[in-house]
A and B are shown apart, each in its own frame.
Chain A
């Protein structure tokens, strides 16, 4: 277990959609073990990986990515999703409302947040280690 006052942070980025490959499964399992061992975990969903944020996923035979994402948030993981990728796929509108971007959505798991690719750069700056999952 980690004992220092500042937890070490592992940042994970996911590029691939859930159920099309096992990358989302690998990331979720890896992230949960990191949290269990006392590390801070930050996750960035990019491109088709934003489908991991969808509510009411109901895979019959595959690894339950949606349930795993909820559990990771409950355990303290910071999960950020690419806002442009999410707007493109209809999860959020992202329009300015009262000076703030509208990230409200009934299609996204509670506790997950959005940022631009520049926000991801901030995540990289905070990371002690970076892992990437998926992509071609």
Chain B
């Protein structure tokens, strides 16, 4: 199964990012293919060196996990690609890529 997760919240001002990225751990052993899309403040989750589920899952993502971050929202927050966890894909048209993914490929989509 392919699942898309769209995250628009910061990693620290509430528990949502932690909860969402904690789901990755549960999916790890079930063969679920997960694509995480980081939009708006969600791109802050891609910064390297964080603790908790955010750091554990983006820095040490399980197999079959893809993490994509909006290039526009990274630039808006002064975050360069060198500031990101290895493996995070920086996408110019994140909205377009996300829409095609959820409409044509993914079986489930969750937003936070």
Contact = CB atoms under 8 A, between A and B. Distances in A.
Contact of B95 (A2, A29, A128): A29
8 contacts: A8-B103, A22-B40, A23-B8, A26-B40, A30-B95, A30-B98, A37-B100, A133-B111
A57 interface: no
Chain B interface, >50% SS class:
helix
Chain A interface, >50% SS class:
mixed
Interface residues of A, number: 21
Interface residues of B, number: 15
Given A129-B102, A132-B111, A133-B111, A33 B96 contact: yes
B79 to A, nearest CB: 16
B93 A33 contact: yes
Nearest to B40: A22
A133 B40 CA distance: 12
A131 B100 contact: no
